[in-house]
Amino acid sequence: MTIKDLSALTGYSVGTVSRVLNDQPNVSEKARKTIREAAEACGFQLNTNAQQLKQQRSNNILVLVKGSSNQFFGALVEAIQARVSEKTSYHLVVDYLDEDSNEVLRALQLVREKKPLGILFLGGNEENFRTHFARIDTPCVLVTSDASDLTFPNLSSVCCDEFQATKSAIDRLIAMGHRQIGIIGGFRERSDTATRRFQGCMAAFEEHKIPFAPDQDYANARFSHEGGYLAAEMLIARSDRYTAIFCMADVMAMGAIRCLTDHGLKVPQDVSVIGFDGLSVGEYIVPRLTTVSQSVELLAQRSIDLLRQLFEDGATAAHEFIPAEIQWRESARSI
Amino acid sequence: MTIKDLSALTGYSVGTVSRVLNDQPNVSEKARKTIREAAEACGFQLNTNAQQLKQQRSNNILVLVKGSSNQFFGALVEAIQARVSEKTSYHLVVDYLDEDSNEVLRALQLVREKKPLGILFLGGNEENFRTHFARIDTPCVLVTSDASDLTFPNLSSVCCDEFQATKSAIDRLIAMGHRQIGIIGGFRERSDTATRRFQGCMAAFEEHKIPFAPDQDYANARFSHEGGYLAAEMLIARSDRYTAIFCMADVMAMGAIRCLTDHGLKVPQDVSVIGFDGLSVGEYIVPRLTTVSQSVELLAQRSIDLLRQLFEDGATAAHEFIPAEIQWRESARSI
DNA sequence: TTGTAGGCGTTATCAT
DNA sequence: ATGATAACGCCTACAA
């Protein structure tokens, strides 16, 4: 079933049929009605391939997720999905890569293959953008990292103020009496987010003159439960003096809590644990997770709005912050 | 950049270029080499739209996820994604619908629009298939439900034996001394899986002559943490005699545990809790979750293998069971 | 082994 | 307001 068939069926030419199906002007009401009904009757669908071939562009927004094991991105994709299908008629194409592959190179390939209207990068490495992004002229938004240092006209960004959010959390921990604080975070050489959050930690420690030795007190982890567990194990092996552990992701925090519990340590009585992200599961675990929370809905909303401004209005690149807020729950306490 | 450009660039005709790019025979090694190198040099990518328009089919496998809040499906999609991109060159198109929309009608629409090679239904309602599936002739696999009662030649299925798996879990609970057992499960009028598992429960209760009043002892819940929490709340309000609660999903179980804890009840000392799915997070919560575990990797593997057999080999529909096994961990105990 | 040309379903331009 | 027609980029007989 093609518009040709529809044309034969209704007696109108393919031109008129096409115009009706695309809600274009210069069609009589009569023709519009006849054709609409015929199309309805046989459940007609335009052939996307022919359409996109002709128009030289797709209807797709590409989402590039870096590090699929990170549950936060999972929740984010879902929120983006929801907003796109509710508010627009664009189609989402989601592509996953592991944490250490080059997202910009991958984007380059997918741009040629799929000709998306725009790209949402969920996570990304500044270095990769610096070296390869110049070759991409599709509108893009970097989500969860700040790209204002990168002055590409087609690259917007939205994230929370990672530095400040993290610093506030550590400040607060210090204000509550903690002096021996361990950090579980991502590999800083691979993750800009981990680097920013690390800097936030360091700023807090320096401001309050709390000793902190990265070699000793910082443990690398992948963004997963297991990663958090393993990192906590390392921290515990190195020292039993920690009264608090700050984790750069809620999933890490859950792993860490499990590990502490296995070592007979109670959370928060013996050790306080703070996570980052604000995953809804945090409200259901025992103890409820204290976390630096960022709204996935807001992040989703802002990122696709920013992207649409770029490709619909030809707007210039913009860089936004969304608020992050500490959800004080049960896994951390004053000492 | 099109094959025409590549043709001009190398001096060969578009026919030869196309043959090289599609790894077809009847091309001299010399031509192959020249064209490959030229394509490589300018990062050439075939235009998928033109390709698929011409070939009248796509390279896509469609995944229809019913009920996106169910974390189990999230894990399953990820496993499918991993296997498809590792073992094949097909592309995955994932589409989410909420729990009460009609997946078969949606599939019908997407078949026309995207012409996928095959469809994977993650979750599905037998009734919907019975009434509308006859109009679909694309190869399909129903995942997590048994479709052997539906005798469509293009519909395979793979799932665990929901009835037996559930019955074993309840049998075991009874063997461990539990007599007052509450069930938290999906809405049976909407979910076949919930119905099957419910039947498994009932069979166990009847076999062991344990009294069970669905009105009283079964609480409906959505497949989410919150759903589990709310359902547990209802169960507790109705009776304080339960020594064990069986939940039809790990996320429900997590919600239930949180609710019990909020009511001052200890898991498993006061109440045992068993989940279903075997989500990896279950190993990290406190207490570690006892659960009826099915392997998402195996489910992913079998479902795409079954689908490929259907559309690659023209195989006839097959219906498989994968094993389910109780992971005995900390959240349930003998009394 | 290589080249040529028709057509896939659509959109858009140009007549009418 | 409507119709005819030329692309879009690719594949694939068929011809050479």
pLDDT tens, position by position, B297-331: 999 999 999 999 999 988 999 999 999 999 999 99
CATH number at residue A122: 3.40.50.2300
Domain shared by B319 and B268, yes or no: no
Q: At what angle do helices A14-21 and A29-41 cross, to 10 degrees?
A: 80
C1’ D9 / CA B52, Å: 10
For strand D, list residues 183-202 of chain A whose Cβ lies within 7 Å of it: none
How far, rounded to the nearest angstrom, does the alpha carbon of residue A56 sit from its chain's CA centroid? 28
Residue of A nearest to B280 (CA): A225
- Report CB contact under 8 Å: B78, A68: yes
- Report CB contact under 8 Å: B48, A113: yes
Q: Residues near B3 by Cβ (< 8 Å), separated by ≥ 6?
A: B14, B17, B18, B21, B46
B277 to chain A, closest Cα gap in Å: 17
Domain shared by A290 and A172, yes or no: yes
Last residue within a domain, chosen from B31, B53, B75 = B53
- With H, G, I as helix, E, B as strand and everything else as coil, classify residue B150: coil
- Bridge partners (DSSP) of residue B25 are none
- Bridge partners (DSSP) of residue B66 are B97
Alpha-carbon dihedral sign for residues B177, B181, B184, B189: positive
- Taking a contact as any Cβ pair under 8 Å apart, which residues of chain A between 300 and 329 contact chain B? none
Enter the tokens of residue A127.
Answer: 């270095």
Is residue A250 domain-resident?
yes
How far, rounded to the nearest angstrom, does the alpha carbon of residue A321 sit from its chain's CA centroid? 13
- Contact A262/B at CB under 8 A: no
C1’ D13 / CA B20, Å: 17
Residue of A nearest to B251 (CA): A281
Our count of domains for chain A comes to 3
Domain shared by A33 and A122, yes or no: no
Domain shared by A284 and A167, yes or no: yes
Residue A10: nearest nucleotide (C-alpha to C1'): D2
Residue in B254, B201, B227, B280 with CA at minimum distance from that of residue B67: B227
CATH number at residue A43: 1.10.260.40
pLDDT at B97: 86
Is residue A27 domain-resident?
yes
Residue nearest to nucleotide C5 (CA to C1'): B15
Provide the residue range defining the domain that includes A184: 162-294
Q: Return the H-helix or E-strand segment holding B41.
A: helix B29-41
Domain shared by B144 and B65, yes or no: yes
C1’ C7 / CA B128, Å: 38
- Contact A189/B at CB under 8 A: no
> When comparing pLDDT for A131 and A94, which is higher?
A131
B210 to chain A, closest Cα gap in Å: 31
Q: Residues near A102 by Cβ (< 8 Å), separated by ≥ 6?
A: A125, A128, A132
Last residue within a domain, chosen from B11, B38, B53 = B53
pLDDT tens, position by position, B168-215: 999 999 999 999 999 999 999 888 999 999 999 999 999 999 999 999
- Contact B261/A at CB under 8 A: yes
Is residue B228 domain-resident?
yes
Domain shared by A290 and A309, yes or no: no
Enter the tokens of residue A132.
Answer: 């390869």
Q: Does residue A54 approach strand D to less than 7 Å at its CB?
A: yes
pLDDT at A67: 78
Q: Does residue A138 approach strand D to less than 7 Å at its CB?
A: no
Distance CA B101, CA B91 (A): 25
B301 burial via Cβ count (<10 Å: 0-12, 13-18, 19+): middle
A208 to chain B, closest Cα gap in Å: 34
pLDDT at B264: 97
In tens digits, chain B (335 residues) has pLDDT values of 999 999 999 999 999 999 999 999 999 999 999 999 999 998 899 999 999 999 988 889 999 999 767 889 989 998 999 899 889 888 888 888 888 889 999 999 888 878 899 999 999 999 999 999 999 999 999 999 999 999 999 999 999 999 999 999 999 999 999 999 999 999 998 889 999 999 999 999 999 999 999 999 999 999 999 999 999 999 999 999 999 999 999 999 999 999 999 999 999 999 999 999 999 999 999 999 999 999 999 999 999 999 999 999 889 999 999 999 999 999 999 99
C1’ C12 / CA A57, Å: 15
Distance CA A296, CA A236 (A): 32
Enter the tokens of residue A250.
Answer: 């809620």
pLDDT at B68: 67
- Taking a contact as any Cβ pair under 8 Å apart, which residues of chain A between 78 and 117 contact chain B? 78, 81, 93-94, 96, 108-109, 112-114
Alpha-carbon dihedral sign for residues B150, B153, B159, B165: positive
Q: Quick one: CA torsion of A8, A9, A15, A18, rounded to 10 degrees?
A: -140
Domain shared by B175 and B290, yes or no: yes
- Contact A180/B at CB under 8 A: no
B258 to chain A, closest Cα gap in Å: 5
Q: Does residue B272 approach strand D to less than 7 Å at its CB?
A: no
Domain shared by A229 and A166, yes or no: yes
- Report CB contact under 8 Å: A78, B58: no
Number of helices followed by number of strands (H, E) in chain A = 13, 12
Is residue B328 domain-resident?
no
- Contact A73/B at CB under 8 A: no
Note the helical H segments in A115-191. 126-132, 162-175
Residue in A58, A132, A124, A126 with CA at minimum distance from that of residue A92: A58
Domain shared by B35 and B85, yes or no: no
Is residue A7 domain-resident?
yes
Distance CA A286, CA B289 (A): 12
Partners of B255 on chain A (C-beta within 8 Å) are: 284
Instruction: Write down how long chain A is.
Output: 335
Alpha-carbon dihedral sign for residues A99, A83, B123, B278: positive
pLDDT at A252: 97
> What is the overall mean pLDDT for chain A?
94
DSSP state letter for A229: H
Express as a percent the part of chain A with pLDDT over 90: 84
- Contact B283/A at CB under 8 A: yes
- Contact B154/A at CB under 8 A: no
**Omega before B214 within 30 of 0, i.e. cis:** no
Longest dimension (CA), chain B: 84
Is residue A332 domain-resident?
no
pLDDT tens, position by position, A183-212: 999 999 888 999 999 999 999 999 999 999
- Contact A258/B at CB under 8 A: yes
Residue of B nearest to A55 (CA): B49
Residue in A226, A286, A222, A215 with CA at minimum distance from that of residue A248: A222
Residue of A nearest to B67 (CA): A78
Alpha-carbon dihedral sign for residues A202, A205, A206, A211: negative
pLDDT tens, position by position, A261-294: 999 999 999 999 999 999 999 999 999 999 999 9
Domain shared by B272 and B319, yes or no: no
C1’ C4 / CA B17, Å: 14
Residue A2: nearest nucleotide (C-alpha to C1'): C9
**Omega before B139 within 30 of 0, i.e. cis:** no
- Which residue reads 């506030």 in tokens? A168
Is residue A244 domain-resident?
yes
Residue of A nearest to B135 (CA): A43
- Contact B281/A at CB under 8 A: yes
A6 to chain B, closest Cα gap in Å: 15
Domain shared by A144 and A228, yes or no: no
Distance CA A240, CA A50 (A): 65
DSSP state letter for A240: S
What values do phi and psi take at A318, rounded to 5?
-135, 155
Distance CA A139, CA A317 (A): 9
Last residue within a domain, chosen from B12, B27, B53 = B53
Partners of A283 on chain B (C-beta within 8 Å) are: 225, 258
Domain shared by B129 and B49, yes or no: no
pLDDT tens, position by position, A306-315: 999 999 988 9
Q: How confident is the model at residue A247 (pLDDT cuts 50, 70, 90)?
A: very high
Around Cβ B136, how many Cβ atoms within 10 Å?
17
pLDDT tens, position by position, A45-67: 999 999 999 998 888 999 999 97
Distance CA A261, CA A273 (A): 12
Residue nearest to nucleotide C6 (CA to C1'): B54
Q: At what angle do helices A3-10 and A14-21 cross, to 10 degrees?
A: 110
C1’ D11 / CA B27, Å: 16
pTM: 0.91
Alpha-carbon dihedral sign for residues A37, A40, A44, A45: positive
- Contact A67/B at CB under 8 A: no
Q: Which nucleotides of C are covered by protein (CB under 7 A)?
A: 1-5, 7-14
Is residue B331 domain-resident?
no
- Contact A284/B at CB under 8 A: yes
Q: Quick one: CA torsion of B286, B288, B293, B295, rounded to 10 degrees?
A: 80
Residue B252 contacts residue B221 (beta carbons within 8 Å): yes
- What's the order of all strands across the beta sheet hosting A244-247? A218-220, A181-185, A244-247, A272-277, A290-294, A324-327
